[in-house]
Amino acid sequence: MSTFSRVAPDAVPMALLLLADPSEDHIGTYLEGALCYLAKDDGQAVGACVLSINRTGVLELFNIAVATEVQAKGIGTALLEHVIADARAQGYERIELGTGTFGHQLAFYQRVGFRVEAVVRGHFLDHYDEPIHEQGIQHKDMLRLGLTLFPG
C-alpha cells in the first residue's frame, strides 16, 4: 500500500526524476521551489511528482515517475490523483503539462481527465541535447495538456 506526501524538492530522489526526464540539467531548471510529492512503499520512495506554479491559480506538472520495478501497479495513477486532489484543496484552478505526441504517458494523462490543448512543434529537438526515443520512434513535438480542477 503506497502512501503519498508533499516533500521538499531536495527530498526527491534524482534517480526517480531521471526516469521521466533524461536531462539532469533540465530537471534543475524546474526543481527548485517546486511543489513535490513522493509515493512510498514500506518507507522507500517509489514515485515522485514535481509541479511549479505557472501563473496565479495554475500549476504545471513537469515530472511524474514511478520506479521501474513497481510500474504498471497503479502507483502513478494514485499519485497523480492525490496531487490533483491536493491542488484542488489548495484552490488551484488548473494543472497543465507537456508530453510527447505518442506513448503510454499520453494515455496515462488522458485517463485521469487531461485534454490536449496545443502542439509545440520541435520541442524535443530544440530543448534536449540527445534524441529521446520511445518504441523506436524519436520524440520531436510536444503536446500541451490541461485539466480544469473546478469545471463548470
3-state SS string for the chain? CCEEEEECHHHCCHHHHHHHCCCHHHHHHHHCCCEEEEEEECCEEEEEEEEEEEECCEEEEEEEEECHHHCCCCHHHHHHHHHHHHHHHCCCCEEEEEEECCCHHHHHHHHCCCEEEEEECCHHHHHCCCCCEECCEECCCEEEEEEECCCC
pLDDT score for 1: 80
Query: What is the rounded average pLDDT of the residues 42-61?
Result: 93
* Domain residue spans of the chain: 3-148
Instruction: Note the pLDDT tens digit of each residue in 55-104.
Output: 889 999 999 999 999 999 999 999 999 999 999 999 999 999 988 777 78
Q: Work out the pLDDT band at 125, boundaries 50, 70, 90.
A: low
Mean per-residue pLDDT of the chain: 90
Q: Work out the pLDDT band at 28, boundaries 50, 70, 90.
A: very high
pLDDT score for 54: 81
Question: CATH for 3-148, among 3.10.129.10, 3.40.47.10, 3.40.630.30, 3.20.20.70?
Answer: 3.40.630.30
